[in-house]
């Protein structure tokens, strides 16, 4: 390693103290920071037998706005080296080989260009309790709960954090204090990687650009899969361009006395993920897990994205996008919101069980949607890859995903075989029953008799979207695809029918705002409790949820072709939620999509009016060949009046308490209308 930066003092982490000189780069060194190496990691890599000399980290060739941002963070974080990523395969391969030589990842020899990372067991999921928005006004971000803010856990090491059920807020002054405890010198002994990336097709009308600075080569490799990254993005940036500034550090400067588990540096005691929308900036410290470190994903695409969308009149949503074609060759596009680990990827990659139907994937997690000049809502997938949950994914539940991850994939926290294949719960029971030797995500020998799971419940695959055999031909269209329907859904074991349709846009907004779901492993919540997850965005709102509802309501304007809105529930169980699943799900979900398809064509012969919305008429829903009993069919579509009256009371209490005086009147109007309709049953 080169000598570390010396004699640095920071009076204010938000103020720049100097500018780059015109001749910043000189033979690979920076005149402004003489001890900082500015050279390609490819040329410095001792693992490989090549020396890439054509790529120069010429800081003066960068737009001034980017150079200023990098300078500011170099002075604070004090890296030993800086590497500007060009996004090439050569660079990607070199970084993977470097990670392999460090023991941070391992090559999966039986899979083409696939790799496995095992994290510190304390760094395995998004940390919602340590994630917050920093704005000048608290009410911009979260409403004041009726009973006041709950006290933040003192073990979080976050001063004056305001916590609510719909997000966390911190003042700029308190954030500056927290950053002063974390950032100075946080990259000592490490390389700062500069990642230029685009969310959405490069140059697209709705696409946005980010610059992430990170000291994690694992993040660089993952960002190359998940975003459009590299020189092509830099070429689109001018001195006048705006971009989202993203800073990430694992929070372990070198040398360190901290125990590094699995060669996965992290600092869970000091982890925080801060969003500064008034500065177009994200700062993540202490975690390497993808949801906390791949800052283009939830942090940019949803939290800051939703704020940009409100300002500019569009939507940034936690939604899959799929194309569906009927046997007659008519194609439509549907966007669908589900909480994390509730089946978005399975639905986006659905293999229809009904002959003649075809489903193609545009995206499995995030949708940016904007009305065009003709009043048509159009959606893009801002991502470039899939960051999917592994457990439960199999050739039965999602054969498309299994094909997608066979090559060019980075797996995290799954089990593996001695010869270099992967395993997780629900993937292949034969591997277990035949007694094949497995090594768990914790690095321990594992058999079917082991008391701990082989793979972590939130273990992930990171795979290129281009690998998907049913990727839609329009998935890279910068104008997006036309949306005919929006679906909301979650894990509701009791009371909520398989599918119903909103009466109108306002009713649909209410359905999205009142979503609930059983908690999953994608965040740190424990147990199977039913949680409110409005719009499947509860962990990802960038601004006050009441204003978010108002923004959705404001989109319904004359001349616009408003999509129909539906709610689905694959997870209803028999015996009032205590038994087995009533609906087979997976490929059979095409039967629900078929009904939705017909309703987007205003086929009134297949629906009936109920207090909660339009539902399938008896015998109009294709259930042939499923072998469902009449009793199960009736329970799938049944509406229990008492359940729904209690549900409405609980929803009202939720808004009263958590959204308080920010709740739009339209929400209360919908509650009263549904209650009135039930009174007439």
* Catalytic site positions: 342
Cα gap 359→347, rounded to integer Å: 9
CB half-sphere exposure, 346, CA atoms < 13 A = 23
The continuous run of DSSP H or E covering 530 comes out as strand 530-532
Q: 581: which DSSP letter?
A: B
Tokens linked to 213: 């600075």
Cα gap 624→206, rounded to integer Å: 43
Cα gap 405→428, rounded to integer Å: 15
What is the SS3 assignment for 198? strand
Alpha helices in 480-605 (DSSP H): 505-513, 545-554, 574-577, 590-600
Residue with tokens 């616009």: 560
CB half-sphere exposure, 617, CA atoms < 13 A = 10
| Cβ burial 546-574 (10 Å sphere, 16+ → b, else e) | bbbbbbbbebeeeeeebbbbbbbbbbbbb
| Long-range CB contacts for residues 54-60, cutoff 8 Å, separation at least 24 | 55/86, 55/88, 55/91, 56/25, 56/28, 57/25, 57/28, 57/82, 57/83, 57/84, 58/25, 59/20, 59/24, 59/25, 59/30, 59/84, 60/20, 60/22, 60/23, 60/24, 60/25
Q: CA nearest 195: which of 294, 292, 288?
A: 294
Q: Spell out the residues 6+ positions from residue 458 whose beta carbon is closer than 8 angstroms to its own.
A: 124, 125, 341, 389, 413, 521, 522
CA torsion angle 390 392 396 397 (round to 10): -90
Alpha helices in 56-108 (DSSP H): 64-77, 89-102
Q: 508: which DSSP letter?
A: H
Cα gap 518→436, rounded to integer Å: 34
| Long-range CB contacts for residues 26-33, cutoff 8 Å, separation at least 24 | 28/56, 28/57, 30/59, 30/82, 32/71, 33/5, 33/74, 33/75
Cis peptide before 255 (omega within 30 of 0): yes
């Amino acid at each position: 390693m080169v000598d570390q930066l010396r004699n640095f003092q920071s009076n204010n982490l938000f103020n720049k103290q100097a500018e780059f000189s015109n001749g910043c780069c000189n033979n690979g060194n920076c005149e402004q920071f003489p001890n900082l190496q500015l050279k390609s990691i490819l040329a410095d890599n001792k693992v490989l037998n090549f020396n890439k000399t054509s790529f120069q980290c010429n800081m003066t060739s960068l737009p001034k706005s980017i150079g200023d941002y990098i300078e500011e963070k170099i002075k604070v974080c004090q890296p030993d080296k800086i590497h500007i990523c060009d996004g090439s395969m050569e660079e990607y391969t070199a970084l993977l080989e470097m990670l392999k030589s460090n023991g941070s990842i391992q090559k999966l020899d039986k899979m083409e260009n696939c790799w496995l990372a095992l994290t510190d067991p304390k760094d395995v999921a998004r940390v919602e309790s340590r994630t917050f928005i920093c704005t000048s006004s608290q009410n911009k971000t979260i409403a004041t709960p009726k009973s006041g803010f709950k006290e933040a856990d003192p073990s979080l090491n976050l001063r004056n954090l305001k916590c609510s059920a719909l997000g966390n807020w911190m003042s700029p002054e308190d954030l500056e204090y927290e950053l002063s405890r974390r950032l100075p010198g946080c990259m000592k002994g490490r390389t700062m990687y500069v990642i230029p990336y685009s969310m959405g097709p490069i140059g697209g009308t709705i696409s946005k650009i980010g610059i992430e600075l990170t000291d994690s080569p694992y993040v660089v490799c993952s960002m190359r899969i998940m975003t459009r990254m590299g020189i092509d993005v830099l070429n689109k940036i001018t001195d006048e361009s705006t971009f989202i500034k993203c800073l990430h550090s694992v929070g372990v400067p070198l040398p360190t006395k901290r125990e590094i588990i699995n060669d996965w540096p992290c600092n869970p005691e000091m982890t925080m993920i801060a969003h500064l929308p008034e500065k177009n900036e994200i700062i993540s410290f202490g975690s390497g897990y993808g949801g906390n470190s791949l800052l283009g994903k939830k942090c940019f695409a949803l939290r800051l994205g939703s704020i940009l969308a409100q300002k500019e009149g569009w939507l940034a949503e936690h939604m899959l996008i799929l194309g569906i074609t009927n046997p007659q060759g008519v194609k439509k596009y549907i966007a669908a919101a589900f909480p994390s680990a509730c089946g978005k990827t399975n639905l986006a990659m659905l293999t229809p069980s009904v002959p003649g139907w075809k489903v193609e994937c545009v995206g499995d997690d995030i949708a940016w949607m904007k009305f065009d000049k003709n009043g048509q809502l159009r959606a893009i997938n801002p991502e470039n890859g899939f960051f999917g949950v592994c457990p439960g994914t199999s050739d039965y539940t999602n054969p498309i995903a299994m094909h997608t991850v066979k090559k060019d994939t980075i797996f995290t926290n799954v089990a593996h075989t001695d010869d270099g294949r992967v395993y997780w719960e629900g993937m292949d029971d034969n591997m277990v029953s035949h007694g094949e030797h497995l090594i768990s995500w914790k690095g321990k020998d594992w058999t079917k008799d082991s008391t701990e799971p082989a793979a972590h419940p939130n273990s992930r695959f990171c795979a290129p979207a281009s690998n998907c055999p049913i990727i839609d031909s329009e998935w890279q269209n910068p104008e997006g695809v036309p949306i005919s329907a929006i679906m909301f859904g979650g894990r509701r074991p009791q009371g909520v029918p398989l599918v119903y349709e909103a009466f109108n846009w306002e009713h649909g907004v209410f359905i999205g705002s009142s979503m609930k779901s059983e908690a999953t492993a994608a965040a740190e919540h424990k147990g199977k409790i039913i949680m409110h997850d409005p719009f499947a965005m509860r962990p990802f709102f960038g601004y006050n949820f009441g204003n978010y509802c108002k923004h959705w309501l404001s989109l319904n304007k004359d001349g616009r072709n408003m999509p129909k809105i539906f709610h689905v529930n694959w997870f209803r169980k028999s015996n009032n939620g205590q038994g087995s699943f009533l609906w087979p799900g997976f490929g059979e979900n095409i039967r629900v999509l078929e009904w939705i398809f017909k309703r987007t064509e205003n086929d009134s012969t297949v629906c009936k009016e109920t207090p909660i919305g339009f539902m399938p008429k008896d015998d109009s829903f294709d259930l042939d060949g499923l072998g469902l009993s009449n009793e199960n069919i009736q329970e799938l579509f049944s509406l229990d009046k008492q359940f729904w009256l209690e549900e409405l009371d609980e929803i009202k209490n939720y808004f009263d308490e958590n959204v308080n005086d920010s709740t739009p009147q339209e929400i209360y109007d919908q509650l009263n209308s549904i209650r009135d309709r039930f009174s007439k049953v």
